[in-house]
Amino acid sequence: MIDLDLTARDKELIAEARAQALLARAHARDFEYAEDKFLPHEYPEAVGRPDVRELARRHVDETSGFKIINALLYLEDWYGGVPLREYPYSLGNTVLRIAGTPEQEARWKDQIIAIAMTEPGGGSDPASTRTTATWDAAAGEWVLNGDKIFITYAGTCDAAIVLAHAVHQDRKPGLSTFLVERGTPGFSISPQFRKMGIRHEDTAALSFVDCRLSEFHHIAGDLKKTLQSFSKSRPVVACYALGVSRAALDLAWETLAPHGILPEYDGDPLRQPAATARLMDLEADWEATYMSVLRAKWVEQNEGPGKIESSMAKALGGRLARRVTQTVVELIGPAALSEDILAEKWFRDGRIFDIYEGTGEIQRLLIARHILGYSPRDLN
């Protein structure tokens, strides 16, 4: 039976992660006007504080499971605004694990591997991919050509896993993935994008011009299964959204408390001050999203990645962050637009969770297909 109660160890790790997130607040604005900077491996405040991921691994039997507690620790990282210690997480590493051979995994498992799917022509539909990898039979190499945009970890990754149309004389043409190491001739990375929010995340474009790769760099595993790696990552993105939303809600309660706006969990919404009722409504939304994340991660932990559970968590997370951060700015008023408090940062940061790793619209499309029993051809 599904059990979403957290263990004592989970709670202890989360409390330590929250304490570290509050220390990280000192650096929450470090990247606002310095997007070319990259996150340090750890900030000085991390020294002497335990590494919560390491503790979670060591005591995993006392947690709800690593997949669950790890996701909840990301929530805390985002509560801080920047992570006090960086835990590079990239979908490219998951794709390598799922689709790579044991030899490929052994070679690149300790590297940060960006995932490069989105192209200037569109990111929601992989079928619109224009990047090609053409087999050069004489040289026994793949030749990669194309452009990718909005790639997270572009500036700091060791390699990128790139989605491309594979064209080979002796094989059926189709979409496949290729690992391209930093420094490979023909592979270039643009300067960092200037973004509305999440400026601590490095994001840039990748370009491939006659980039030659050996067959070993072809991550040729089942593509459908490969794309299912999103089922693991989407609830984690929902955790990011929960972290930002929690931070914004806490800031709102703290700012409004001197005006008599206090949480009233048993209160009648019709008799509460309007601000209290609006915040309580958002608290309920936060709880629902949190439960959906726990459910998605519980399913993954116990039964394997659940596509629909993960889309539901992601769809709720993206919507939650937009609703919460917008309402908090409204309730705090003009002061929320000043850089003296973090409300406007949460507002800008909160927009992304409904965009990357599949937009909110795409999640709702996947959920609708599932509920209605429609195929992608029926509903697209």
> Is residue 150 a contact residue for ligand FAD (CB under 6 A)?
yes
Considering only 121-129, 135-143, 267-275, 335-343, which stretch makes contact with ligand FAD by CB under 6 A?
121-129
Q: Which of 106, 124, 303, 333 binds ligand FAD (CB under 6 A)?
A: 124
Q: Nearer to ligand FAD by C-beta: 69 or 159?
A: 159
Q: How far is the CB of 12 from ligand FAD (least distance, A)?
A: 33
- Least spacing, CB of residue 149 vs ligand FAD, in Å: 7
CA–CA distances in Å: residue 188 to residues 65, 146, 163, 181, 183 = 39, 11, 16, 11, 8
Decide whether 169 or 380 has the Cβ nearer to ligand FAD: 380
Task: Report, in Å, the least distance between residue 364 CB and ligand FAD.
Answer: 8
Cβ burial of 140 (10 Å; 0-12, 13-18, 19+) is: exposed
Which of 47, 375, 378, 380 lies at the binding interface for ligand FAD (CB under 6 A)? 380
Q: What are the CA-CA distances from residue 242 to residues 56, 73, 114, 245, 329 (Å)?
A: 20, 11, 24, 5, 17
Closest contact distance (angstroms) between CB of 331 and ligand FAD is 27
Show contacts with ligand FAD in window 198-217 (CB under 6 A).
203
Q: DSSP E strands: which ranges in the chain?
A: 113-116, 132-136, 141-152, 159-167, 174-181, 187-189, 203-213, 218-219
At 214, phi and psi to the nearest 5? -80, 170
DSSP for residue 263: -
E strand segments, 293-332? none
- Counting Cα atoms < 13 Å in the Cβ hemisphere of 55 gives 15
In the window 326-355, what residues touch ligand FAD (CB under 6 A)? 352, 355
Helix, strand, coil tally for the chain in percent (to 5):
50, 15, 35
Least separation in angstroms between residue 207's CB and ligand FAD is: 14
Q: Which of 93, 152, 226, 310 binds ligand FAD (CB under 6 A)?
A: 152
Q: Which residue do the tokens 């992304």 mark?
A: 352
Residue 9 CA to residue 14 CA, distance in Å, equals 9
Q: Which of the ranges 119-127, 173-181, 261-269, 367-375 carries the binding residues for ligand FAD, by CB under 6 A?
A: 119-127
Least distance in angstroms from the C-beta of 88 to ligand FAD: 12
In contact, 57 and 50? CB cutoff 8 Å: no
Neighbouring residues of 172: CB distance < 8 A, sequence distance ≥ 6 = none
362-378 in b/e form (b: 16+ CB < 10 A) is bbbbbbebeeeeeeeee
- To ligand FAD, the closest distance from the beta carbon of 191 in angstroms equals 15
Query: Minimal CB distance to ligand FAD: which residue?
Result: 123
> Could you give the string, one character per residue 354-373, with x where binding to ligand FAD holds by CB under 6 A and - elsewhere?
-xx-xx-xx--x--------
Applying CB under 6 A, the site for ligand FAD has a residue count of 22
The binder of ligand FAD chosen from 69, 82, 113, 115 (CB under 6 A): 115
Q: Which helix (H) or strand (E) holds 331?
A: helix 307-332
- One residue of 64, 93, 118, 276 binding ligand FAD per CB under 6 A: 118
Measured from the CB atom, is 50 or 191 closer to ligand FAD?
191
Give the nearest distance from C-beta 214 to ligand FAD in angstroms.
23
Among 151, 211, 252, 275, binds ligand FAD (CB under 6 A): 151
Which tokens hold the place of 56? 């979670």
Tell me the three state secondary structure of residue 108: helix
Residues in contact with ligand FAD by the rule CB under 6 A: 114-118, 122-124, 150-152, 195, 203, 352, 355-356, 358-359, 361-362, 365, 380
